[in-house]
Amino acid sequence: MKIAFWSPLHGTGASSGLLAVAVALSILDSKKIVVSQTHYNLNNLERPLLGSIGNGDFFRDTGVDALLRFFKSGNITEEHIENCSIKMSETLYLLAGTKTTNREGFESSMHKGMLLHIFSCLEKYFDMVLVDTNSGNNELSMRVVEECDAVVVSLRQNRDMLDSFFESGLFEDKHIFYMFPDFDPESRYSMHNLRTLYKKMNSGNSSFLPHNTGYMDAICDEKVLKFISSNIDADKTVQDYAFFCSLRKTALMITEFLKIRLLDKTQGEV
């Protein structure tokens, strides 16, 4: 199953939300997950997971760029995918985004649908393919969302953003999960109030991750995997309990949300 993570505007925490959910799902649900991105020459996923080794020539024979070369020379095999993906844990893999300096060539490949084909190939070997897309009405993002089975829309407690998104009718034909990755629990725009204001949101398709300094530091320190895997079972005695309680809940909600959509998809194919 392919899931796109998208936001109407830059800076809403879509990438950090994807990272947290991906690591949590790989632990809690034992799903074999691969994460990737469509951003040009950005390390939104690589640096927080890999740290300083995710620089220079490290990606020469891995990631999207390597799979694009295999695609152009023939079919992509399971061996190619295994060799081009970086194993972060027994159940979590990273397919690094492009590192090419030839933006025109990269965008040409995208327009020809090569990246979409790669994501479809990944789906054959992983339970979940999570794709971090560019924010806004980026052409490639729209195509990726269209090809995915569901989209996680990252939002903020901002009425202008929320009004604009829900009034746009964007992705009305898609299965949407609404996530607030940098949630302020003290705001009067609580999840209950937001669901009351925006009827498309309900208790089964929306959740939040409260702002957490420890997690933000883990992203900056490039230690996301360690931070989450070490604390995912945190109880009330742990300082970051509220964050991990919400993360566990969000990850399991997304799992249930996707199971229902997968059942709908399977029944539709019968």
Sign of dihedral through CA atoms 5, 43, 84, 28? negative
Compute the distance between CA of residue 36 and CA of residue 105 in angstroms, rounded to an integer: 19
Q: What are the structure tokens assigned to 193, written together?
A: 């109030």
Q: Which residues pair with 208 in a beta bridge?
A: 180
pLDDT tens by residue, 187-238: 999 999 999 999 999 999 999 999 999 999 999 999 999 999 999 999 999 9
The 8-class DSSP code of residue 208 comes to E
Q: What are the structure tokens assigned to 133, written together?
A: 């897309």
Strands 92-94 vs 86-87: parallel, antiparallel or unpaired: antiparallel
Into how many domains does the chain fold? 1
Sign of dihedral through CA atoms 121, 151, 131, 240? negative
pLDDT tens by residue, 39-81: 776 667 888 988 755 555 566 678 888 888 888 887 888 899 9
Which residue segment(s) compose the domain that 186 sits in? 2-269
Residues, the chain: 270
- What is the CATH number for 26? 3.40.50.300
